[in-house]
């Protein structure tokens, strides 16, 4: 096993309804196709991907160096959340991702920390002038999914965020039901 020195969180920059109603495996296959066919990589760049419903899928085997961040692939694990289209690095997690993804990402990060040690957990936007993953990972870890980078906004966003989650879940549930008809 290669030595792991960090975990880096990303987003796929897809819309919330990207391939809605299709299994996570199909979405991962599509991202793999982008990375292999469009970018010419040997495999999907991320090690783990988390679907809107919290399903965690494996991408490139974690034993192998990924292709998810310029200059920092060696020794890092790349985890990507489905969603994040149109996000800014100043947004809150809950602006673009679901409560199920929040739980799944925390669980996965806990498992990776158990396996690889207490390595730093960061976001792509800490290394490059990019929005990815569309929130501040350190603040999300400390303050929760409603935390936006502006300190004065923390605490005030909680109720709105709960409604945002409920609306997102109702929308996702309705879309899945419609897709089955």
User: What amino acid positions are annotated as catalytic residues?
Assistant: 10, 46, 124, 130, 132
Exactly one of 60, 124, 139, 164 binds Zn ion (CB under 5 A); that residue is 124
Q: Which single residue is written with the structure tokens 């669980």? A: 107
> Shortest approach of Zn ion to residue 10 CB, angstroms?
3
- Retrieve residue 157's tokens: 């966003």
* Nearest distance from C-beta of residue 84 to Zn ion, angstroms: 9
132 to 151: interface string for Zn ion, x by CB under 5 A? x-------------------
Binding residues among 4-43 for Zn ion as defined by CB under 5 A: 10
Residue 134: which of 13, 8, 6, 17 has the closest Cα?
13
CA dist 51 and 89 (Å) reads 20
State the minimum distance, in angstroms, from the CB of residue 124 to Zn ion. Answer: 3
Stretch that binds Zn ion, among 59-67, 96-104, 116-124, 140-148 (CB under 5 A): 116-124
Q: Which two tokens stand for residue 81?
A: 């959340």
β-pair type (56-58, 48-50): antiparallel
Q: 158: which residues sit within 8 A by CB, 6+ positions away? A: 146
Which residues are near Zn ion by CB under 5 A? 10, 124, 132
């Amino acid at each position: 096993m290669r030595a792991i020195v960090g975990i880096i969180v990303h987003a796929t920059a897809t819309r919330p309804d990207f391939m809605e109603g299709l299994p996570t495996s199909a979405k991962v296959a599509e991202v793999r196709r982008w990375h292999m066919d469009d970018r010419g990589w040997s495999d999907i760049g991320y090690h783990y991907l988390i679907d809107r419903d919290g399903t965690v899928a494996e991408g490139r085997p974690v034993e192998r160096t990924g292709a998810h961040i310029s200059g920092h692939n060696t020794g890092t694990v790349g985890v990507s959340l489905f969603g994040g289209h149109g996000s800014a690095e100043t947004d809150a997690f809950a602006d673009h991702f679901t409560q199920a993804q929040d739980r799944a990402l925390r669980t996965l990060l806990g498992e990776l920390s158990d396996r690889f040690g207490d390595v730093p957990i960061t976001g792509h936007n800490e290394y490059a002038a990019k929005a990815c993953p569309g929130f501040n990972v350190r603040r999300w870890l400390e303050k929760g999914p409603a935390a936006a980078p502006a300190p004065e906004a923390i605490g005030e966003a909680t109720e709105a965020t709960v409604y945002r989650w409920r609306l997102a879940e109702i929308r996702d549930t309705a879309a899945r039901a419609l897709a089955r008809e």
